[in-house]
Amino acid sequence: MSWEDLLRSVKNFRYGRNLDRSNWESVWEERKGTCSSKHAFLVDIARRNGLKNIHLIMGMYKMSAANTPGIATVLEKYGLTYILEAHCYLETPEGMIDCTTVTSSYDRFRADVLEEIRIEPYQVVEWKVDEHKSRFSAWVAREHPTRKVEELWTIREEIIRALERER
């Protein structure tokens, strides 16, 4: 299987949380994954096969109905135009590649990216979650000072469930 075939296969796997988030090989076994597990899996495979300059990126971006199909109803329900999200994708010599779903495209959310950080696959297990929550809390304090972090995190979880149903 070529690298391009692998990317295409993973892109076509269902979107959803894996049974064990620390075992990104489960992406292949379960034929599903999140942005974190799918891209950690791909970087791991690239490294095992000597592919150079394939990096895992965590991008903080403004997730909105315009750049993420399937979330408009939830955002509108809670009076939000966007929610801060930590999204993983690949940095390659050919550019940024998003294999989260068959319709995912870096170009769709590029203009809404606030920051991009190179991370290692193992960091998607705990560090990414902790970093996301920390940045999310700061965002809530800055952008929604009358709302509680827990309330907006619960809304975020509802958005993720909507994406799992959609994809």
Burial class (CB in 10 A: 0-12, 13-18, 19+), 146: exposed
Long-range contacts of 74-81 (CB under 8 A, 24+ apart): 74/155, 74/158, 74/159, 74/162, 75/159, 78/155, 80/155
Average pLDDT over residues 132-136: 97
DSSP-assigned beta bridge partners for residue 119: 56
Burial class (CB in 10 A: 0-12, 13-18, 19+), 90: buried
Query: What pLDDT, in 10s, does the model give residues 63-107?
Result: 999 999 889 999 999 999 999 999 999 999 999 999 999 999 999
Closest CA to 59 of 85, 28, 39, 95: 85
- pLDDT at position 102: 93
Which residue reads 């909105």 in tokens?
A: 64
Number of domains in the chain: 1
pLDDT at residue 167 above 80?
no
Domain of 120 in residue numbering reads as: 3-166
Alpha-carbon distance of 18 to 37, in angstroms, equals 8
pLDDT at residue 43 above 90?
yes
Please tell me whether the overall predicted TM-score, pTM, comes out greater than 0.85 for this model: yes
Query: What pLDDT, in 10s, does the model give residues 116-131?
Result: 999 999 999 999 999 9
- pLDDT at position 24: 87
Query: What pLDDT, in 10s, does the model give residues 7-25?
Result: 999 999 999 989 998 898 9
For residue 46, name the pLDDT band (cuts at 50, 70, 90). Answer: very high
